[in-house]
Amino acid sequence: MTARPNQTSKKATVSKTATKTAATQSVETSTTSPAPKKTAAASAAGAATAPTVEKAAPKPSAPVGYVSFVGSGPGDPELLTVRAVELLREAEVVVTEVPSHIELVRTLLGVPAPRVVVDEDGNPVGEEPAGGPEFVDGGFGQDGQPLTHAARAKVVVKQAKSGRRVVRLMAGDPFVYASGPEEAQACVKAGIAFEIVPGVSSVTAVPAYAGIPLTTKNNREMAVVTCSDAKVDWSQYADNRTLVLLSAVNSIADIAKALVDAGRSADTPVSMTRVGTTTEQSTVVSTLDRIAADARAAKMSPPAITVVGDVVDLRGALSWFETKPLFGWRVLVPRTKEQAGSLSSRLRGYGSVPEEVPTISVEPPRNPQQMDKAIRGLVEGRYEWIAFTSVNAVKAVREKFDEYGLDARAFSGLKIAAVGEKTAAAIAAWGLRADLVPGGEQSARGLLEDWPPYDEVLDPINRVFLPRADIATETLVAGLLELGWEVDDVTAYRTVRATPPPAPTREAIKSGKFDAVVFTSSSTVRNLVGIAGKPHASTIIAVIGPATAKTAEEHGLRVDVLAPSPSVEDLVDALADFGASRRAALLEAGQPVTKPSDRRPSARRKAT
């Protein structure tokens, strides 16, 4: 637990003497320096000559405050340290460095953005708080201009004196190329305790993400040089040390010339990487005599890290981030965040930027009586089997159990089937184990292939409880009937079309700003087209199976990627294989590696 005001902290760097307030010191004087003892006679005389004065109790000192200076790393939120995450979850106030810090913290804490409140005419009149910590801008003033180090320190001190848990979130590392030292000194002066939580510094992280090591067995020395706000004597860097240059984008021409004039070879390798560790990262590799022109041609802009030295040559073999098969691709996922968890995580692993757009909304059935009757039948032993075809079906039955005050014991003696591993996992989270999960295709058809036929001798009951969506296909019911089972096909939940996404998202879908879209069912195709329109011709269409592919083609879309088996993992892997092949073909043709959204045919593709 973070030390609070008036608590002893091993991490606090402020001495006890420095943190004493005037009130505390006066209390210590009166309690630790007692007056000399008086004789009985003197006491009596004093009592007769002086009125009795009662001293007021000393007022407790005001909260001194405590600040955690936390490094947010170079850009990738997954590079936050464990300690940083812990402190952000406990924070009451977060003093940010850059605007992106607000979204980073909200995503980490699962806190939505405040809802904009509008008047009758639709004009914004304020925001409805969404919970989470209070955000205070510590990087920019009201006019949008960057604050000086002294001004930033005043913001931090003011918030710390409120007595709340304050996190000062800083880009990179608080003590590397940051105002952390100045702000920490201001805390010392104000008697505020603090701690430093190092962050992954862009000095080392960005070159690593570019595939450039800063030291090797043949390059054992490096120097970090800040190139802004002061002139640098480049003659002292004329040797072969690796140089890491900060804030060098705008002055790279002068720097390169100065290094060559100082004795460095004009052919010395140079790299410049902007917005490193993010999916917008881009790197230019050149030499001292050409870097200025190459950086200008590539439209390099801050923030960027420049590396000078022979280590840059290793990028050709060690580049691992920018060469991911879907690097920088913006991928549309027509599912909710809850449904798309593993899918989006896998997409990010291949370097893409997934964006979830809900196409359906799950709601209770219009008539709950059928579901109520089925649950009573389950408790009374009416069924031999219950078959769950989706995670939503498990959720619907579990909610009914909670409504009736039931628990997993009601499944005693009942056999449980799950259509796939995800559904089986949802059942397991309930403390149950599925008796039947298809060993092959994870679908209704695959479940039927493994489902045993009804046996009058072995099966005391011939009835199956099938809680499903209102739009489920009849494949499973028909197959079970053929196997001799009776089926109670019960609507456990309804799937309705979601509200259309925001206008910018709809425009991005239609204009080809998405590089790919992954369809996990026929309903996602129908609903996405219904609420947002058809994806642009340049957008790569990836589908989970033949039925989904057929639906996509019926809506005028050409399918580019078909998963070899109906699972989201195989779907994402197939899209990554497509991206890798596309990248290899561009390189083989001597063309620059582009994203599908970089090339937009004028005519919409037709289904073939």
Which DSSP category does 73 fall into? Answer: B
8 Å CB contact between 210 and 316: no
Q: What integer pLDDT is reported at residue 91 of this predicted model?
A: 95
Residue 549 clears pLDDT 70, i.e. is over it = yes
Query: What number is the average pLDDT over the span 67-78?
Result: 94
Q: What integer pLDDT is reported at residue 62 of this predicted model?
A: 52
Nearest-angstrom CA–CA distance, 245 and 255:
10
pLDDT tens by residue, 125-135: 666 666 789 99
Closest CA to 397 of 360, 361, 387: 387
pLDDT tens by residue, 193-220: 999 999 999 999 999 999 999 999 999 9
Q: What integer pLDDT is reported at residue 131 of this predicted model?
A: 79
How many CB atoms sit inside 10 A of residue 386's CB? 24
pLDDT-based confidence at residue 58 (cuts at 50, 70, 90): low
Nearest-angstrom CA–CA distance, 600 and 580:
20
pLDDT tens by residue, 434-477: 999 988 777 788 889 899 999 888 888 999 999 988 877 788 99
Query: What number is the average pLDDT over the span 2-11?
Result: 40
Q: What integer pLDDT is reported at residue 421 of this predicted model?
A: 84
If one compares 60 and 397, the residue with the highest pLDDT of the two is 397
Q: Which two tokens stand for residue 155?
A: 């913001």
Q: What integer pLDDT is reported at residue 111 of this predicted model?
A: 84
Which DSSP category does 305 fall into? Answer: E
Nearest-angstrom CA–CA distance, 136 and 123:
25
Query: What number is the average pLDDT over the span 57-76?
Result: 78
CA 459 to chain centre: 50
pLDDT tens by residue, 313-356: 999 999 999 999 999 999 999 976 566 678 888 999 999 999 99
pLDDT tens by residue, 268-320: 999 999 999 999 999 999 999 999 999 999 999 999 999 999 999 999 999 99
Closest CA to 171 of 273, 282, 95: 95
Q: What integer pLDDT is reported at residue 337 of this predicted model?
A: 59
Residue 8 clears pLDDT 60, i.e. is over it = no
The rounded percent of the chain whose pLDDT value lies above 70 is: 84
Residue 418: what are its φ and ψ, rounded to 5°?
-130, 140
pLDDT tens by residue, 470-510: 877 788 999 999 999 999 999 999 888 888 898 999 999 99
If one compares 213 and 110, the residue with the highest pLDDT of the two is 213
Q: What integer pLDDT is reported at residue 338 of this predicted model?
A: 61
Q: What integer pLDDT is reported at residue 315 of this predicted model?
A: 97
8 Å CB contact between 325 and 222: no
Q: What integer pLDDT is reported at residue 59 of this predicted model?
A: 53
Residue 40 clears pLDDT 70, i.e. is over it = no
Residue 31 clears pLDDT 90, i.e. is over it = no
pLDDT tens by residue, 391-428: 889 999 999 999 999 988 899 889 999 988 889 989 99
Residue 53 clears pLDDT 70, i.e. is over it = no
Q: What integer pLDDT is reported at residue 110 of this predicted model?
A: 84
Nearest-angstrom CA–CA distance, 450 and 437:
8
Which DSSP category does 99 fall into? Answer: T
Q: What integer pLDDT is reported at residue 160 of this predicted model?
A: 94
Task: State yes or no: cis peptide before 58, omega within 30 of 0.
Answer: no
pTM of the model: 0.72
